[in-house]
Structure 1
């Protein structure tokens, strides 16, 4: 529901994949991604942005923040299955 909640969840749980919206209240997904990458650098997990913002600048910012991939809303079932398949 929020960036702060995402940080708490990842601190308590070691996911292999994090699907995260960019537009969250309080702290956007870019900041959460940067913090996850710096606070959990020893952990191996894929970080995938899910957003309605898909311009070149948005993709650049997502990559710089530490996202491995960016999916545009609405995300289709086949696209989500492909992401899950590469994580398994």
Structure 2
């Protein structure tokens, strides 16, 4: 997220939920961080400098490690066309800011359930 305060607050919340977190403030850096970190879930703003969230999602999906990542668009853009653009770029979910904590907990809980069922 290009809003550093929002990104840091969300990172702290996720850490309090027992997640390991890496944060970036633009899409280009976010992609590089994700490539090094190889997370199970990526929360990605759409309207970011250097590389927008759609291009970041496409870049992640192009990587072998990125094929199974849960990609979540976290954005203020909530029109039907925005949601379709998210799907087209490879996002699994489209959450509108301000995101509710329960929605995040559900996503992270579902992701943990999925990974514990994999062999």
TM range (shorter): over 0.9
Q: Name which of 28, 35, 56 aligns with 1:32.
A: 56
CA RMSD in angstroms, aligned pairs only: 1.3
Instruction: Say which is worse superposed, 2-11 or 32-41, in terms of deviation.
Output: 32-41
Q: Which has the higher contact order (CA 8 A, sep 6+)?
A: 1
Answer with 1 or 2: which has the greater Rg: 2
More helix by share: 2
Moved over 3 A (4+): 40-43
2: CA distance, partners of 1:61 / 1:10: 21
**How does the TM-score come out when normalised to structure 2?**
0.70
**Is there any run of 5+ residues in structure 1 with no aligned partner, and where?**
none
More strand by share: 1
